Amino acid sequence: MEWYNKGKNEVLKELSTDFSKGLSEKEAELRIEEYGKNELEVQTKKGFLSKFIAQFADFLIIILLLAAGISAFVGEREDAIIILSIVVINAALGIYQEGKAEKSVEALQKLSAPNAKVIRDSNMVIIPAAEIVPGDVVVLDAGDIIPADLRLFESSNLKIEEASLTGESLPVEKDAKAKILGNVGIGDRHNMGFSSTIVTYGRGKGIVTATGHNTEIGNIAVKIQSYGEEETPLQIKLNQLGKVLGTLTIAICVIVFIVGMLQGRETLKMLLTSISLAVAAIPEGLPAIVTIVLSIGMNRMAGKNAIVKKLLAVETLGATSVICSDKTGTLTQNEMTVVKAYVDDKILDVEGIGYDPSGEVKLKGRSISINSLPNLRNLISIGTLSNDAQLDNSTGSYKILGDPTEGAIVAFAGKLGQTSQQLNMIYPRIQELPFDSVRKMMTTFHSNYVEGKVVSFTKGAPDIVINKCNKIALNGRIVDFTKELKEKVLSVNSKFARSALRVLSGAYKVWDRLPEHPTFEQVENDMIFVGLVGMIDPPRPEVKGSISLCKEAGIETVMITGDYRETAYAIAK
Give the residue numbers marked as catalytic. Answer: 326
For 134, residues 6+ apart whose C-beta sits below 8 A from its C-beta are: 15, 31, 35, 208, 209, 210, 211
Alpha carbons 362 and 359: distance in angstroms, whole number: 10
Rg (CA), the chain: 33
C-alpha 267/C-alpha 257 separation (Å) is 8
Write a three-state SS string for 63-129. Answer: HHHHHHHHHHHCCCHHHHHHHHHHHHHHHHHHHHHCCHHHHHHHHHHHCCCCEEEEEECCEEEEEEH
CA 346, chain centre distance (Å): 36
Burial status of residue 388 (CB atoms within 10 A of its CB: 0-12, 13-18, 19 or more): buried
For the chain, the 3-state helix, strand and coil shares in percent, each to the nearest 5, are 45, 25, 30
At residue 414, what are phi and psi to the nearest 5 degrees?
-60, -30
Instruction: For 271-313, give the DSSP string.
Output: HHHHHHHHHHHS-TTHHHHHHHHHHHHHHHHHTTT---SSTTH
Task: State the amino acid at position 29 in one-letter form.
Answer: E
Contacts of 323 (CB under 8 A, 6+ apart): 550, 555, 556, 557, 558
The CA distance from 551 to 545, in Å, is 10
Rounded Cα distance, 145 and 116, in Å: 8
CA dist., res. 440 & res. 460, Å (int): 6
Residue 116: Cβ-neighbour burial (10 angstroms; 0-12, 13-18, 19+) = buried
Residue 181 is classified by DSSP as: -
- With residue 482 as reference, give the H or E element that holds it: none
Report the SS3 class of residue 7.
coil
Rounded Cα distance between 109 and 218, Å, is 9
Residues 6 or more apart in contact with residue 173 via CB below 8 angstroms: 158, 159, 190, 437
